[in-house]
Amino acid sequence: MRRLGTGLRGFARLFHIARTLLRWRLDELIEATRLFGWLRPLRGLIAPSPAGIESATRGERLRRALEELGPIFVKFGQILSTRRDLLPPDVAEQLALLQDRVSPFPGELARDAVEQALGKPVAELYARFDLEPLASASIAQVHAAALPDGREVVVKVLRPGIAERIETDLALLRGLGELAARYSPNAEHVRPLDVVAEIERTLRDELDFQREGANASTLRRFWLDSPDLYVPEVHWPWSAETVLTLERVHGIPSDNIAAIEAAGISREKLAAKAVTLFYQQVFRDNFFHADAHPGNVWVDPTRVDEPRFIALDFGIMGALPPADQYYLAANFEGIFTRDYRRIAELHIEAGWMPDTIRVDDLESAVRAVCEPYFTRPLAEISLGEVLVKLFKVAHRYQLTIQPQLLLLQKTLLNVEGLGRLLDPRLDIWAVAHPVLDRILREKYSFATVRREFEKRLPDIARNAPELPRLVHRWLEQQVHGEQVSRIRAEELAQLADGQRRGQRASVRAILGGSLVIAGTVLVALGGPGPTLLGVPWLAITVLAAGGLAFMAAARAAR
């Protein structure tokens, strides 16, 4: 019976989706609606269109249909809006405007949910709990309250039944993704199942307020006492997986230009800080707010001389693997300095493109994208737009876009849009380049490398005694032929000489690496015997031997 009920709910939801798509006349815009062609003759009866739909653009119709379908489809549209390399500009711009607003649920239900999650009556937990919500969205709504000591807070409460609704929608969305993957001519580039998986991951993260609280707490730690950004405090004793209690803050939405000017706050300073904050979060902290629309970024009205932003809603945060972080920063530097060959090389080195791509071809394509932008005044150039165009061109070269890079691209476009809204004359490049340059010099300096080495020294020292045994075992395998590549007979004769040189180079390189590691450990720990300028002679000798082994390896590889 439970399975039957689930199946009936799924069918009813599928019918509702079909009806909504037909009502907003999206038959030809979304390929999946062709599955519901049998409903089209009944459109006037089951799906009457709203007034004025004839004058609405296709992007606006799609946006309003997704908002009507609820949180899953809103998230689908928001994530799809980051794929500006695939979408027509008018559709991408409308999807970027998607708003997640729904009617509030009764405050009594919110109170009951808080009591169930925290295990105590609301009267014991809070000195005051307002049943009237401050804001309501499809996943949660927010209530004002006060802690027993009088501190003002907001309580974010998960919408009742939303988890079950999301599971039903996800199942349907996975089914539609499988159909699109099988029948869509653009499936290889759009990768609909990957998009669905990204939506699923994002939604599961947003359903867990413990995770959101941890995000807020981490961001607050990075920016504690900062004159540029304020992050409200998480009150953990009043928080759980479905309830999050945060310090209440007051501010001006960052797109309310009139209120910002009335408060006497410099829009120019705010615009420059918005860009600076983005680069610091991405490249210094590697932890950035990835949903930075004006509703989630306020301006502190109490900081007039030294403007400060206030961050809200920490359900979607971004971070990059160290390699991607480096390659992205180097790409930005390449764009700033118009080093197109370097950009092409970085795309291949990073593994974003197959290494079979010719660098000169890719360099030519990058130049064709970037050069037209440099005919404009620098104040009119958007790095986010350049990045979108690069991704679009790169699709011809089998570019594989990582989800974290798409999230960053979306955030960059939001930040640049906010900066230009606050100050239309903002020269984003003039602000961003020195910030990025300074961060990279600090991040990849010798002092930073030394600190990282010192941090990893215990692991190196622990594994150092194993190195001679591992080298000896590898050499034995080479002698006994245990690591011989299975190559076709006709290729073996041609490659034998190169293979022998490669084996000799490998042996010498491994020996050199072992000696360098051993010498470094001796330097760090202070080896026995006499020293030169504080460095043990034994360590100098071992390091020199390692260097000679590396030189011999280089000669053997020629």
Catalytic residues, by residue number, are 291
- Residues 67 and 186: their CA atoms lie apart, in Å, by 25
- Can you read off the two tokens belonging to residue 441? 């010099």
- Give the closest residue to 221 by CA, choosing from 87, 321, 311, 315: 311
Rounded-to-integer distance, Cα 449 and Cα 523, Å: 15
**Site of tokens 């309580």:** 155
CB within 8 Å of 388: residues ≥ 6 apart = 84, 85, 409, 413
Is residue 224 packed enough to be buried (19+ CB in 10 Å), middle (13-18) or exposed (0-12)? exposed
**Measured between alpha carbons, how far is 31 from 18 in angstroms, rounded to an integer?**
12
The answer to whether 535 and 526 are in contact (CB under 8 A) is no
H or E element that contains 518: helix 489-525
187 exposure class (CB count in 10 Å sphere: 0-12, 13-18, 19+): middle
**Residue 301 Cα to chain centre, angstroms:** 30
For residues 459 and 451, is the Cβ–Cβ distance under 8 A?
Answer: no
Q: Which amino acid is at 408?
A: L
Q: At what angle do helices 267-279 and 428-443 cross, to 10 degrees?
A: 40
Q: Which residues are bridge partners to 309 per DSSP?
A: 229, 299
Q: Diameter of the chain by CA atoms? A: 95
The DSSP call for residue 190 is H
Decide: 366 and 390 in contact? Cβ < 8 Å: yes
CB 283 within 8 A of CB 222: no
Q: What is the C-alpha separation between 255 and 327, in angstroms, rounded?
A: 32
Place of tokens 């609606």: 33
Nearest to 126 by CA among 138, 139, 110: 110
The C-alpha atoms of residue 218 and residue 348 are separated, in whole angstroms, by 33
- Beta carbons within 10 angstroms of residue 350's beta carbon: 17
CA–CA gap between residue 310 and residue 317 (Å, rounded): 15
